[in-house]
Amino acid sequence: MPKVEAVKKEIKVPSGVTVNHKDGELTVKGSKGTLKRTFVHPRVSLKAGKEAVTITCKGPSRAELGLTGTWESHVKNMFEGVTNGYQYKLRIIFSHFPIKTSVKGSELSIENFLGERYPRRALILEGVTVKISGDTITLEGSDKEKVGQTAANIEKATLVKDYDPRVFQDGIYLISRGD
């Protein structure tokens, strides 16, 4: 693989979005909220202007080359989150015992899962809103990682143990990511 002299990636700032970069922390503000993320590395730099965010690295190693792409994806996800937001949908599936779900503070309470006496709980991360309608749970938020982690917390809370998963397919499962 030939040696790369320098890497420079520019990400255009969408209209209606303001960007501020100070002490390694990038702040992105848009109609759906504000996101902050720290970008610090000794050889990779990030600069934010009014029209574009620039990521540069001179003479990158393979790891630094990969890091520039990762940072680019993070910045694009931040722009997408503050302009359009993220929405995940999960479906409640049961065949043995009817599952009852409710939001209590920062937790999703899952009652009567496989006939259990005590409710199971899943943590809802800050900035994520949960709407329950029938057998569908909708998660919305501006931070892609928090919405995805909340969906994972809910799926993990309904993990079936000590039963044959081919027979007991009860649970809450992710059915769509996106619009």
User: Is residue 1 in a domain?
Assistant: no
Does 114 lie in the same domain as 55?
no
| 159 Cβ neighbours under 8 A, 6+ residues apart | 171
In this structure, the answer to whether residues 37 and 63 fall within a common structural domain is yes
pLDDT band at 1 (very low <50, low <70, confident <90, very high): low
Residue with tokens 């202007």: 49
Does residue 56 form part of some domain?
yes
DSSP state, 51?
A: S
Identify the domain boundary among 83, 102, 136.
83
* 45: amino acid identity, one letter: S
pLDDT averaged over every residue in the chain: 93
**Single residue among 41, 66, 83 that ends a domain in this structure:** 83
pLDDT in tens, 87-100: 999 999 998 899 99
Q: How many domains is the chain built from?
A: 2
Residues spanned by the domain of 108: 86-177
Residue 77 lies inside a defined structural domain of this protein: yes
pLDDT of residue 80: 95
Cα atoms in the 13 Å half-sphere on the side-chain side of 126: 3
Q: In angstroms, rounded to a whole number, what is the distance separating the alpha carbons of residues 83 and 90?
A: 23
pTM: 0.90
Residue 168 has pLDDT above 90, yes or no: no
pLDDT in tens, 114-138: 899 999 999 999 999 999 999 999 9
| Whole-number percent of the chain with pLDDT over 70 | 98
Q: Residue 16: pLDDT above 80? A: yes
